[in-house]
Amino acid sequence: MISIGKPFVYDDGEFAYLKAKVEISEDTSSAYLKASRKIKKVHWRTDIDYPPKCWNDADSGLWFATPVEYKQYLCTERGDAFVVAFLWYAMITGSDICSEAPLSEQMVFNITRYLIPALCTDKNGYRRISIMGELVSTPLNNAGGVGTGMSCGVDSFYTLNQYTKPDTPQRYRLTHLAYFNMGAIFHPDRNSKKQYTIKEFYETTDRMSEEKRNNAKEVADAVGMPLIYVKSNLDSDYYRGAYGHTGVYRNCAMALSLQGLFSVYYNSSGGWPGYFDLTLTEGSQHYEALLCQCLSTESMTFILSDYTTRFEKTATIADDAIAQKYLDVCFRFNNCGTCSKCIRTLVTLDILDKLKQFDESFDIEKYQSNRSYAYFKILQLKNGDAKDDDAVFNRELYQRALAKKLIPIRSYCMYYLSVCYNRIKRVLHI
């Protein structure tokens, strides 16, 4: 069982906090610990201090914090943000959720009628959970804001481009950008020998997030919109990983904490057109359209920004001066040029013949000197399965680069040598 108390607001002079007491049963935390060891492709940090000792503190609980000037928009009337924050946690552990605060009837109806039955079935072994609490259908008063996240990635710049156009109806035109610190920004190099403590990990995350926030603020200033900042202890005190599985849930929970501000919130799609998969053990972006429908309330509507491919989105923003200056896609921070996200973005710009336009955000000379390696990685990464992000995006790049005859001969040589090497290793059991 996951029990959530009534939300309340307090501030420390700099940030206003929306907080609720959360009690997670021992059975539930044990089930989550088991899940963290079973599900693959996730950086979990549950092997140390889990459940965290802070759960035993008298003032423990989940909080969302925003600068004090936005305190009036924090939503204490509903427990929606807290239920959505713990929804994946509850489903993966088979635990019911009980909220002391009233919940939006529309949201609970859609979650219960559509989302839970789709994700929790006899076939996959997850039980259908229940959400308990008073249901209310009366819309909340809000300021009518229209928001979207600004991570400075391709998806967020594309959403900004599309929903500030003059032909966008007024009630759907962007008025605010948001930067949510959800614990996802720091991806330690798997080859590094550095072992981070929990404290070191989240100190690094917060430092990096502050830099990203500053970049997002410059973008917001450039387009004449306010930037709403929200941070939370959801990852540090509860999830300790699983961001790929919970990213859409977290994003929506952050936005729901500000139901007094937003009437519409755009979730920038992950660029997976034509692909849909309902499973708790893969990324939430695989069923983000359903999540936007089910997590909307009578007061706030979540809209999936588009189902355009990542290549097409990049082409759309390639001539945008602000995107050219601030685009930041990196796994390792500040466009390293060598991680898979940097490589596929640079190759996309290469195919589009737009590399020079992005010399403020990327080291183009470094890319040009390593161009054969970049295309080798495209050849290598395109061969994953249909649920693999890198494979999906790189297959499209491969086809487009092939059509324009851009792939260097050296890249093919590197690729086939690596294939032979890996086959020899398998035969010799090295």
- Torsion angle, CA of 313/319/320/323, rounded to 10 degrees? 70
Q: Which residue in the block uniquely carries the two structure tokens 């295309």? A: 375
pLDDT at 385: 59
Mean pLDDT of the region 98-122 = 96
Residue 43 has pLDDT above 80, yes or no: no
Q: Give pLDDT tens digits for 243-286.
A: 889 999 999 999 999 999 999 999 987 755 556 678 888 888 88
Task: Give the pLDDT band (50/70/90) at residue 201.
Answer: confident
Alpha helix segments (H runs only) across 76-197: 80-93, 105-110, 116-119, 154-162
Segment of 100-114, 184-198, 257-271 carrying the highest mean pLDDT: 100-114
Alpha helix segments (H runs only) across 183-225: 198-223
Residue 313 has pLDDT above 80, yes or no: yes
Q: CA 362, CA 352: separation in Å to the nearest integer?
A: 15
Residue 195 has pLDDT above 90, yes or no: no
Q: Give pLDDT tens digits for 340-383.
A: 889 999 999 999 999 999 999 999 999 999 999 999 999 988 87
Task: Give the pLDDT band (50/70/90) at residue 182.
Answer: confident
Q: Please answer whether residues 207 and 185 qualify as being in contact, where contact means their C-beta atoms are separated by less than 8 angstroms.
A: no
Q: CA 410, CA 421: separation in Å to the nearest integer?
A: 16
pLDDT at 135: 98
Task: Give the pLDDT band (50/70/90) at residue 430.
Answer: low
Q: Is 389 exposed, middle or buried (0-12, 13-18, 19+ CB in 10 A)?
A: buried
| Collapsed DSSP state (helix, strand, coil) of residue 163 | coil
Q: What is the rounded average pLDDT for all residues in the chain?
A: 90
Mean pLDDT of the region 43-65 = 89
Looking at per-residue confidence, does 306 or 171 come out higher? 171
What pTM, to 2 d.p., does this model score? 0.92
Provide φ and ψ at 419, rounded to 5°. Answer: -65, -45
Q: Please answer whether residues 200 and 208 qualify as being in contact, where contact means their C-beta atoms are separated by less than 8 angstroms.
A: no
Question: What is the secondary structure of 307-330 as a DSSP string?
Answer: ---HHHHHHHHTT-HHHHHH----
